[in-house]
Amino acid sequence: MRLLISGASGFVGSALVSRLVRRPNTEVVGIFRGPPNRSGDSFNLAALIGNLDPDQDWSGMPRNSDALIHAAARVHVMKDAATDPLAEYRRVNVDGTLNLARQAAAAGLRRFIFISTLKVNGEATEAERRFSADDAPAPPDPYSVSKWEAEQGLRELALRTGMEVVVIRPPLVYGPGVKGNFQEMAHWLKRGIPLPLGAIRNQRSMVNMDNLVDLIVTCIDHPAAANQTFLASDGEDLSTPDLLRRTAAALGKPVRLISVPVWLLQTGAAAVGKTEAIQRLCESLRADITKTRRMLNWSPATSVEEGLKRTAERFLRETRN
């Protein structure tokens, strides 16, 4: 079996490489933006070099590969410096993705696995509701709009070419080496900074890297995955205070939570231009993975505790000083 992984040096892509290079009778080809830094699992990895641009020539792509896992993207950023963020997201995540997919289909690729985002479903869920894979999409920002448009383009390409398409929409992904907001939260907890988040009563889905990689690997050759959309999660939703407590426990640190009313948090955040950040902390965003479990006979094997433990161990090693 031959598998291609775009974004092979990224957070998700490198975890996939680590898993798949150990799979028997499997040739893995990493797709990189530039010559890869040869270390660890990527040392003996075949490489295909190119940018995720609309006019990139992918003629060097191996023919008749079994699957391409597309983990490369222009990712969501809180403060986008682009003059027209939606246009830039579309250039990479839509036009660049579809250019890659069209050339892959022409090269005889059997299955294209697209890593999308739960935010295609919407910004937040209310009360006890969860988003399902077949809900009407409602992407709230340029990043999720670009992902949804790419999904639609891939579906059309699948109809025209016969190449199978699988879409996976994960929520927040965490695991060893995670950056961004999760890493910032871990720094707060390690320093023992009091956090005014004790009164939040939300529920949010997350997925640790081991579970996401396991789901992607399942989708490589599962016959029921063809031309389907699946949501991912750990199967357990956490409130923001619960996440802080359990992450602090994994770090071996006490957590200091102050119960400030949510309305006051929102007012203060608006005053300093942090509305989007506080929304992420206060609102619920839940994924229903019933379809994923049923159609693929898949369940998240790694618990939240174990996922946080592995994440914390790596974080502590990297921040020892």
From residue 243, give the alpha-carbon distance in Å to each of 69, 205, 214. Answer: 30, 11, 23
Catalytic residue among 32, 131, 143, 230: 143
Q: Give the residue among 305, 203, 317, 165 at the shortest CA–CA distance from 245.
A: 305
C-alpha to C-alpha distance for 276 and 146, rounded to whole angstroms: 19
Beta strands in 199-295, from DSSP E residues, in sequence order: 206-208, 229-231
Beta carbons within 8 Å of 300's beta carbon, 6+ residues apart: 207, 211, 214, 215, 233, 234, 235, 289
Whether 89 sits among the annotated catalytic residues: the reply is no
Compute the radius of gyration of the chain from its Cα atoms. Answer: 20
C-alpha to C-alpha distance for 260 and 313, rounded to whole angstroms: 30
Q: Give the residue among 144, 155, 118 at the shortest CA–CA distance from 288.
A: 118
SS3 285: strand
| Residue 128: half-sphere exposure toward Cβ, Cα within 13 Å | 0
C-alpha to C-alpha distance for 321 and 318, rounded to whole angstroms: 8
Q: Which two tokens stand for residue 158?
A: 């699948």
The answer to whether 93 and 153 have CB atoms below 8 angstroms apart is no
Catalytic residues: 143
